[in-house]
Amino acid sequence: MEPVVRTMLGRAVPHAPGERAVRREWTGHLWSLPRAPRAFILAVICAYLAWAAVLAVGFRTRTGDLLLFAALLGCIAVTVELTRRTSEPSGIVKDVYAVWELPVVIHLPLLYALAVPAIRLALTQWRVRQAP
């Protein structure tokens, strides 16, 4: 039987006979982290949500902005699909999503820029691979 190493997601990966097997399982729970990293992650999330709330107060939707946002999200979706097809066999993910996120930051109100990474990450998790 071939030795197996568990990845951070708990998936079994074959292990070369000459290498030392390291077993790590990702629990996926924020509360299992030590206090300092957990506090830092929670502070970043709270700051992100607070900034989104500040930006949402004066936010006005315009049809042109929504159309541009939808077009750029479509480009991100196509990029995720193309990356998935080219990266899956080798296991390496080539992250080129910033190419489409930068125009959102430049051309649209900042609230859109805060939403794009969350949407892209959800799409990537769903279509490419699940990661912590």
Q: CA distances (Å), 27 to each of 7, 9, 12, 83, 95, in order?
A: 11, 8, 15, 27, 25
Give domain status of residue 27, yes or no: no
Give domain status of residue 13, yes or no: no
The 10s digit of each residue's pLDDT in 12-44 is 445 555 544 444 444 457 778 889 999 999 999
Give domain status of residue 41, yes or no: no
Give domain status of residue 87, yes or no: yes
How sure is the predictor about 64, in pLDDT bands with cuts at 50, 70 and 90? very high
The 10s digit of each residue's pLDDT in 92-125 is 556 677 788 889 989 998 889 888 988 888 888 8
Residue 4 has pLDDT above 50, yes or no: no
* Domain hosting residue 97, numbered range: 60-127
Distance of alpha carbon 85 from alpha carbon 71, whole angstroms: 21
